[in-house]
Amino acid sequence: MKHPALLATACFLLAGCTAKPPADALFPLEGGHRWTYRVTTLSGDDSIERETLTLRTLGAEALPLLDTKSAWRRRSDSGIDYWLRADETGIYRVASKTDIQVEAVLDKPLRFVLKAPYTVGTQWQATTTSYLLMRRSEFPREIRHSHPSIPMNYQIEAVDGRIDTPAGPFTNCLRVKGVGSVRVYADPASGWRDLPLTSTEWYCKGVGLVKVQRDEPAQSAFLTGGSRTLELESWE
C-alpha cells in the first residue's frame, strides 16, 4: 500500500506480561491474527485507486528501547511494525519502525488507539498527518511533508453500531470519530485556510478494526483532496 500511515491511523492489551487478551477484545493483540483490507482512494481529480493491505499480529516481545516490559507487535505488509500495549487506560501504541529505519522510534507521548472507558463520549487526542491533500504544481506535492504532525481530536460516538463490510456484517461495534484541520495556503483568492481532516473508525468485539473512512476535501485552485475507505475483506 502506498499510504501505510493511514492506519495510524489505521494501525494500533498488555502491560508488562504476555497474558492472552480477552477473546472479545476491540483491538486483538495476541499473535496469530491476520486481517486483509480493501482500500479504495478517490482523488480530487476523480481518479480511483484500489489496493489491499494485510496486517498480522506477531505476539509479545521485548523492545530494548522501552523498558523491561514486553509489547505486542503488529506488522503491515507495507513494511511498518508497530508495538502496542493495553491497560486500564486503554489501548496504545508505544513504538513503530519502517523497513528503512535501523531501530524502532518511541511514541512520545504514547499514542492511544482506543482510550478507556469504552463508552460514548470518551475523548482523546493523537497526532496525524494529511494523506490525501496534494499541491497541484509545487514539489513535493504531498502536504504531509510540510505538516507531518497534526493534532486530531477523537471521540467515541457509539458502542452499539452496525456496519457492513466485504467480510460480512458486524454488530455491537464501537464507532470513533476523529476531527482535525491543517492550515495551508489555498490560493490567492482565499489565502490561508484551515482545511478539515476527518476520520471515522469502527471496532468490533473479537475482530478489531473493520472499517475506516478518511475525508480530506480541498476545494481549492492550488490543492486537490480526496477520500479513502478501508474495509475488512477477511480475518483470522
What pLDDT, on a 0 to 100 scale, did the predictor assign at position 6?
A: 46
What pLDDT, on a 0 to 100 scale, did the predictor assign at position 1?
A: 42
User: What's the sign of the alpha-carbon dihedral 149, 131, 78, 102?
Assistant: negative
Q: Which long-range contacts (CB under 8 A, 24 or more apart) does 15-22 make?
A: 15/69, 15/85, 15/86, 15/87, 16/68, 16/69, 16/70, 17/69, 17/70, 18/59, 18/60, 18/70, 21/86
What pLDDT, on a 0 to 100 scale, did the predictor assign at position 8?
A: 38
Ordered domains of the chain (ranges, CATH): 6-235 (2.40.360)
Per-residue pLDDT 10s for the chain (236 aa) are 444 444 434 443 223 334 445 546 899 999 999 999 999 999 877 789 999 999 999 999 887 777 667 899 999 999 999 999 999 999 999 999 999 988 888 888 889 999 999 999 999 999 998 988 888 877 777 887 787 888 999 999 999 999 999 999 999 999 999 999 988 887 777 788 888 999 999 999 999 999 999 999 987 778 889 999 999 999 99
What pLDDT, on a 0 to 100 scale, did the predictor assign at position 77?
A: 94
